[in-house]
Amino acid sequence: MASFGFTTVTQAIEEVGLHHPEGDFIFQDMKGEETRRRFADLPQITAPRCAALQAMGLNKGDRVGLIIVEPEDFVLSFFACLRIGVVPVPLYPPMSFGQLDAYVDRTATVLASSGAKALLATDSLQKILWSLVDRVPSLERIEPADSLGDFIGEAVYPDIGPDDLAFLQYTSGSTSDPKGVMVPHRCLIANAKALIEDSLKLTPQDRGVSWLPLYHDMGLIGFVLAPICHALPITFIPTLRFIKRPNVWMETIHRHRGTVTFAPNFAFALATRRARQSDLDKWDLSCLERVGCGAEPIQPETVRAFTETFGTHCGMPNSAVVPAYGMAESTLGISLKPHQELLRTRSVDADVFSATGEAREATDINSAVEHVSCGPAFPGHDIAIFNEQGERLAEGEEGEICLKGPSVTPGYFENPEATREAFRDGWLRTGDLGYLMDGEVYVTGRMKDLIIINGRNIHPQAVEWSVAEIESVRKGNVVAFTTPGPSGEELVVALETRTKEPAVLCDEVSSCIQRELSIKVSEVLCLKPGTLPKTSSGKLQRRKTRQLHLDGALVDAGARRGETSAGKDGLVVAKHLAKSMWSRIRSTTTGN
């Protein structure tokens, strides 16, 4: 095991090359050309950037926004910040031209909340972002990130300790109240050790391959910061390159002998569907011992198909897929399936579970729901399940997942109220629902989204997944929620469709939910594409959808959006290009 005893990521950046000079980060570009950066060279190649940042007047503790598209530029700029104690605030690049105003609003709010003094952005984004200087009181300047590496000057390196803030992770809290999770070095060091050493059992002889976006915790911590602390070499594929050519993922793993990679559930389906027989015959994936699956609810069928395809044809071990659970508030990870164990799922009696929250083994296969184990809590961390009254629940009983341990954030940046709400008796409240069984955590949903009808707890995903199977429903664009009715809560399903016969579709949806879940739907809303509200990271917003519906604004919104999308904002492929990279990644939770 490679424990170098680093106490800060800064120390790791500066010293990892002394232990493993030939370890490297390899950056692929859109055409597949690769640039190699050796660990031994990191201090030298980040030095000009450190000096450039200090020349801008940035000092230890100052915050700086990062909106950088190119992975290499992003990583080197981020490292430079950490070396001089400047606190980076990673932000995602604009998603589409049509929604630019909303993007700039959101970015301004986050920058203001973080009190950022400067913003480093990719050259081509400057013309979109320039107005931020006037809108964010603390913001003094926007600098092109591309040329920082050419700066001539000497930096002064301050002392950085384990309790110093490394960076701020903004979660997709509401626009009016953005929440910046504080990530001190000691949390990163603790989470990196738990992830890389204790759970995944990785050494400097392993290699990671990642196409995940770097402003997202799974890509940034999982494949940049944790690896640098443990001398794990990584190959980076641009996110968009993977989306366009999903086969480059496995091809790169095959060529670089990758032993670890991570992705959200959707990518497993994409990779399986797109793999050609000629590629499968060629690839040797026997090296690929760990394929983490997180950031989205994990669908066992998808994971099994993936294992079948790449196991049978390419020799990937059948224990490779690693269900993962985590969230920004716990730095990144909370629990993972133990290395080399097989995927564990439980078939649970669906009726009993939704009525009582008790995850009892199913006796009838026809009324069973399958739950995926995300393994035990990381060593040194504790998971417990509590009910709403704050009472600790027994194994097999569903409640709120709560966490204690060295990876847990000290709180939200300059937001004591949100911090107070996030903790109870020293436990971090994840807001996720789940249960423990044999010490392993099963994540079953998000608390605030739970649908309660006639005393029955129904997970909105159960409704949404059933409805998503219907042909004319736009994939991934279904939201289920409840509204108060004359005799209790009633189920409403809002979906996007292009069908010419909404009445027929409504009937189909009602009978589908009746058949699959035995619930009566009180209302089905067929909306035009683009109507359902989404978070900045592209997640559907159930609560906002519900509010819009209660306000009677949902259908109106659809009509307005429909007009503009045919008009001047119709940069169709631009939208898809951006959305495809960002929309599927949940930005707060790295598990179910």
Q: How far is CA 549 from CA 207, 541, 559, in A?
A: 48, 12, 14
Distance CA 125, CA 273 (A): 34
| CB half-sphere exposure, 67, CA atoms < 13 A | 28
**Of 373, 424, 375, residue with least CA distance to 403:** 424
Residue 476 in contact with other proteins, rule: CB under 8 A: yes
Residue 584 in contact with other proteins, rule: CB under 8 A: yes
Residue 356 in contact with other proteins, rule: CB under 8 A: no
* 492: Cβ contacts below 8 Å, ≥ 6 apart: 480, 481, 482, 483, 521, 522, 523, 524, 525, 546, 549
Query: Minimum Å distance from CB 528 to other proteins?
Result: 11
Distance CA 189, CA 25 (A): 19
Residue 165's SS3 state is strand
Binding part of the chain for other proteins, among 237-245, 290-298, 376-384, 484-492 by CB under 8 A, reads 237-245
Residue 133 in contact with other proteins, rule: CB under 8 A: no
The structure tokens listed for 322 are 């690693």
Binding part of the chain for other proteins, among 149-157, 328-336, 337-345, 580-588 by CB under 8 A, reads 580-588
The interaxial angle of helices 554-566 and 542-550, nearest 10 deg, is: 110
Distance CA 423, CA 492 (A): 32
Residue in this structure with the two tokens 């199913």, named with its chain if needed: 362
Q: By CB under 8 A, name the one of 141, 244, 282, 520 that touches other proteins.
A: 244
Which residue lies nearer to other proteins by CB, 34 or 397?
34
Query: Minimum Å distance from CB 241 to other proteins?
Result: 9
Residue 240 in contact with other proteins, rule: CB under 8 A: yes
Residue 561 in contact with other proteins, rule: CB under 8 A: no
Residue 128 in contact with other proteins, rule: CB under 8 A: no
Residue 529 in contact with other proteins, rule: CB under 8 A: yes
Which residue lies nearer to other proteins by CB, 342 or 572?
572
**Of 499, 494, 500, 473, residue with least CA distance to 554:** 494
Residue 465 in contact with other proteins, rule: CB under 8 A: no
Q: 60 and 81 in contact (C-beta within 8 Å)? A: no
Distance CA 232, CA 213 (A): 18
Residue 528 in contact with other proteins, rule: CB under 8 A: no
Residue 504 in contact with other proteins, rule: CB under 8 A: no
Query: Minimum Å distance from CB 477 to other proteins?
Result: 8
Which residue lies nearer to other proteins by CB, 425 or 471?
471
Residue 570 in contact with other proteins, rule: CB under 8 A: yes
Distance CA 233, CA 103 (A): 34
Query: Minimum Å distance from CB 143 to other proteins?
Result: 22
55, exposed or middle or buried, with CB in 10 Å at 0-12, 13-18, 19+? middle
Residue 406 in contact with other proteins, rule: CB under 8 A: no
Q: Which of residues 249-288 bind other proteins (CB under 8 A)?
A: 266, 270, 274
Residue 571 in contact with other proteins, rule: CB under 8 A: yes
Q: 197 and 230 in contact (C-beta within 8 Å)? A: yes
Residue 568 in contact with other proteins, rule: CB under 8 A: no
**Type of residue numbered 284:** D
Distance CA 545, CA 539 (A): 12
Type and span of the H or E element at 14: helix 9-19
Distance CA 27, CA 355 (A): 50
* Terminal-residue alpha carbon distance, the chain: 29
The structure tokens listed for 27 are 């950056």
Q: What phi-psi label fits residue 414: left (phi over 0), alpha (psi between -120 and 50 degrees) or beta?
A: left
Residue 305 in contact with other proteins, rule: CB under 8 A: no
Q: By CB under 8 A, name the one of 38, 474, 544, 561 that touches other proteins.
A: 474
Distance CA 229, CA 10 (A): 9
Q: By CB under 8 A, name the one of 15, 60, 97, 135 that touches other proteins.
A: 97
Residue 484's SS3 state is strand
Distance CA 392, CA 332 (A): 24
Residue 31 in contact with other proteins, rule: CB under 8 A: yes
Binding part of the chain for other proteins, among 36-44, 215-223, 236-244, 286-294 by CB under 8 A, reads 236-244
Binding part of the chain for other proteins, among 160-168, 410-418, 518-526, 573-581 by CB under 8 A, reads 573-581
Residue 250's SS3 state is helix
Binding part of the chain for other proteins, among 45-53, 340-348, 351-359, 575-583 by CB under 8 A, reads 575-583
Type and span of the H or E element at 64: strand 63-67
Which residue lies nearer to other proteins by CB, 33 or 159?
33
Q: By CB under 8 A, name the one of 1, 30, 156, 503 that touches other proteins.
A: 30
Residue 367 in contact with other proteins, rule: CB under 8 A: no
Q: By CB under 8 A, name the one of 392, 543, 560, 576 that touches other proteins.
A: 576
Which residue lies nearer to other proteins by CB, 213 or 233?
213
Residue 574 in contact with other proteins, rule: CB under 8 A: yes
Binding part of the chain for other proteins, among 194-202, 297-305, 347-355, 563-571 by CB under 8 A, reads 563-571
Which residue lies nearer to other proteins by CB, 20 or 216?
216
Note the residues at the interface with other proteins (CB under 8 A). 30-31, 97, 240, 243-246, 266, 270, 274, 471, 474-476, 498, 529, 565, 570-577, 579-580, 583-584
